[in-house]
Amino acid sequence: MVHIFKLLSFLKNYSIFNGDEMDLQPKKTTQLKNLIYSNDLEFIMEAHNGLSAKIVEESKFKGIWGSGLSISASLGVRDNNEASWTQVLEVLEFMSDSTSIPILLDGDTGYGNFNNMRRLVMKLEQRKIAGVCIEDKLFPKTNSFIGGETQPLADIDEFCGKIKAAKDTQNDPDFMVVARVEAFIAGWGLKEAIRRAEAYRDAGADAILIHSKKSNPSDIESFMKEWSNRHPVVIVPTKYYSTPTDKFRELGISLVIWANHTLRGSITAMQKVCRQIAKDESLINVEDKIISVAEVFRLQGADELQAAEKKYLPTAGKAVNAVVLAASQGSLGEITKDIPKTLVKIGGKTILESQIETFNQVGIKDISVVRGFAKEKITALNINPIDNDDYRNTTELYSLYLALKEIKQNTIVSYGDLIYKSYILNDLLNDPNDITIVVDADFDENLNYHDYVTTNQPYSKRNFLLDTRLEKIDPDLRKEAINGEFIGIFKTNEKGGVILRNTIEKLATDLNFKQLRMKDLFTEILKTHPIAVKFIKGSWLDINSIVDLQKAGDFDC
């Protein structure tokens, strides 16, 4: 039992990923704690957005400094709390999501008093930020390298209250609170720096950041000698950058922050590229000197998205197309006097535009439209038009006959006067059956010519996921035999497409073929092959009357 408790205690400090596999990478908070309490000198690098954070991690740094200066500069504002703490938090969320190493936030003065500090810590933990560094100046802060001597320091007791509030608020025991001492920056001496550092340590700070703007490490040397390794010390050697790193090791420094160099490096590069392009009015002298677009895609995780699309999108990796049967004029009076029904506008878009948009949402770009009445007005981009010039004397089945070569490996067939939710197409494309029709279990038996169906089992919440088969389809079914209404959408896979084409070609030899309906097609197929039914309840409309048009105005595609 003791061993089980030890194991559970061990695992609490580690992250588990990938569902089936255990990844014993320490939590971000634990990673930062290990850096700060390491026996070796450790380093973290500044980042200011998700992309720079990703680059820092790929450069083998063990942690990230969420620099207040850099984040505010990347947003185009001054380092004077002009970016609100919630805006900073939003940037941090992108940084955290794109990396697996810890982020120590440059939290300025804590963005207010102890209460602001408490809320900040709560929100940082929610976003898996590993720690926060706060400085003992007044809110709103001013950058330490701008008139530092004139900047008043916070009251020690008040600042200690912020530290205590942060430590009392954190839920993760490894969340790090670093107290930044600005005594040297503000023109005070070693005595004040030590007095403040000791007070902050007693208040619960996990480490002390001692800051200096001298070009040599004399302030740091004097502090470390007096401090005598009583608590971890963090430094930011931006001004005394020429100091050999081994000197920091000799002094016993725990953590070095390279505080703003990804930002400064990126500014240098952007200025150079922009000036070159402006001068040349061409890309010829920069294209081979900058990173490729492919590398940008890699950093963005494009490969992962492509893999996810194959897993989650029903069209990924498939040849999928759609055929829209839109040859009829419709019977909406003056509304369809000069345009086919598929071009009637609903909510600012035609029915056909809504259908194309819905197809695109599920990844279907290969769309054929069978035109008839006023065919010259159906000119939507990226469609393959097929003309039914005998639209007045034929039905939707004849229009499908004209589009037979478009029945391919995975094909959705839709009437041209429908609007519907995209999930219906998703469900169809995920359906493994050869031929599947969509049936609405909520039906109105008083409508004029609708294809009602009988199935092997009625719709219910218990069996809607089970295989349901079509038994009969007819507009004249008795009410008690009706299980739903065929809405005018069906799909075929490669095998189903062969069955569909063969059956239509067989029916085409009938002298009355031009008057046969879709129900006749399905009835013929049922003689030799099953047809699956995908039940829905609502989420679609067909436009057959002015009343339908009014209903459609409230329909959200």
Mean pLDDT across 435-453: 81
452-455 and 470-474 strand pairing: antiparallel
410-415 and 484-492 strand pairing: antiparallel
Rounded CA separation 445/483 (Å): 11
489 within 8 A of 420, measured Cβ to Cβ: yes
371 within 8 A of 324, measured Cβ to Cβ: no
Q: Which of 416, 443, 448, 413 is nearest to 537 (CA)?
A: 443
Q: Which two tokens stand for residue 192?
A: 């004040």
Burial (CB count within 10 angstroms: exposed 0-12, middle 13-18, buried 19+), residue 80: middle
- Reported in sequence order, the residue ranges of 182-265 that DSSP labels E, i.e. its strands, are 207-210, 233-235, 255-258
Kind and range of the H or E run holding 452: strand 452-455
The per-residue pLDDT for range 378-428, each reduced to its tens digit, is: 987 789 999 999 999 999 999 999 999 999 999 999 999 998 888 899 889
Rounded CA separation 367/420 (Å): 16
Which DSSP string do the residues of 401-427 spell out, in sequence order? HHTGGG--SEEEEEETTEEE-HHHHHH
User: Under 8 Å CB-to-CB from 227, ≥6 apart: which residues?
Assistant: 194, 197, 208, 233
Which has more confidence, 152 or 200?
Answer: 200
In the chain, where does the domain assigned CATH 3.20.20.60 lie?
A: 26-259
Rounded CA separation 179/132 (Å): 9
Which of the four pLDDT bands, split at 50, 70 and 90, describes residue 140?
A: low
Q: Which of 437, 460, 413, 452 is nearest to 534 (CA)?
A: 437
129 within 8 A of 64, measured Cβ to Cβ: no
| 436 bridge partner residues | 491, 532
What is the reported pLDDT for 17?
45
Task: Give me the residue label for tokens 């340590």.
Answer: 201
Rounded CA separation 544/538 (Å): 16
* Mean of all residue pLDDT scores within the chain: 89
Mean pLDDT across 144-154: 65
The per-residue pLDDT for range 243-266, each reduced to its tens digit, is: 999 999 999 999 999 999 999 999
Reported CATH class of domain 320-552: alpha beta
Would you call 79 a catalytic residue per the annotation?
A: yes
In the chain, where does the domain assigned CATH 3.90.550.10 lie?
A: 320-552
Is residue 342 helix, strand or coil?
Answer: helix
Cα dihedral across residues 100, 104, 108, 113: positive or negative: positive
Residue 545 predicted with pLDDT over 50:
yes
Is residue 389 helix, strand or coil?
Answer: coil
Kind and range of the H or E run holding 166: helix 156-169
Reported CATH class of domain 26-259: alpha beta
Residue 332 predicted with pLDDT over 50:
yes
Which DSSP string do the residues of 221-232 spell out, in sequence order? HHHHHHHTTSS-
Mean pLDDT across 517-546: 90
Rounded CA separation 171/280 (Å): 56
Task: Check 40, 79, 155, 474 and give the catalytic one.
Answer: 79
Task: Give me the residue label for tokens 């061990």.
Answer: 10
Task: Give me the residue label for tokens 């850096």.
Answer: 35
